[in-house]
Copies of this chain bind each other. A is one copy, B any other.
Amino acid sequence: MNIGIFGTGMVGNTLATKLVSLGHSVCMGSRTADNEKATQWAAKAGAGASHGTFADAASHGEILFNCTSGGHSLAALEAAGAANLAGKVLVDVANPLDFSKGMPPTLSICNDDSLGETIQRAFPEARVVKTLNTINCQVMVEPSRIPGDHDLFISGNDAAAKSQVKDLLASFGWERIIDLGDISTARGTESYLPLWVRMMQAFGTADFNISVRKAQ
């Protein structure tokens, strides 16, 4: 499958590398066509890997991943171009974390809104699916590194888009994916980040996830 990745940071790099390893053709997009990190990634990842502008990545992909930092996501998606996003599955992995006051971060969007919804409103023809934003990128692409069963969440207005993303996540090894409902439920998973960050600080590692357990 042709996939576009927005963002050259650790999350974009990790997801792009995983997708290439699974045989997909992946274009990593950034603000400029000659971004150093994207160039290095494409050279190292080899066959199936390419890079370009946000618009190049958006044109290339049938499925797109927003791996930019939350504060820059809207600008990146605008650079990608609404026409290039229209009708496509846009997996929003970002969190609206604001580190301007140091650690732990606050959220730049929260409570009665979410980044996922903001993106869906700004690009109504994109089929936005919020997922993977509750875990570190190593866990995203290798859920088996966490022992036992543990859960991922998914939110979005388009059932077919969520289904397609679930299939892709299953190819990463995700067996348990909780569908919370429409894109407004992204408020729930984005709002979990302040707890995630404090657990990360208490544990001294980001290599964890939660397993939801119900009474029987």
**Contact code string A101-117 (vs B, CB < 8 Å = 1, else 0):** 10010110011100000
A187's closest neighbor in chain B, by CB?
B194
Once bound together, how far apart are the Cα atoms of A203 and B181, in whole Å?
Answer: 11
- Chain A: interface secondary structure? mixed
Given A106-B111, A111-B106, A188-B199, the answer on whether A215 and B146 have CB atoms closer than 8 Å is: yes
Once bound together, how far apart are the Cα atoms of A147 and B215, in whole Å?
Answer: 6
The one of B147, B196, B210, B214 in contact with A146, judged by C-beta atoms closer than 8 angstroms, is: B214
Q: Total interface residues on A, using CB and 8 Å?
A: 45
Is A209 positioned at the interface, with any CB of B under 8 Å from its CB? yes
A153's closest neighbor in chain B, by CB?
B195
Query: Which of chain B's residues have a CB closer than 8 A to the CB of A139?
Result: 215
* Cβ contact within 8 Å between B188 and A195: yes
* Cβ contact within 8 Å between B181 and A202: yes
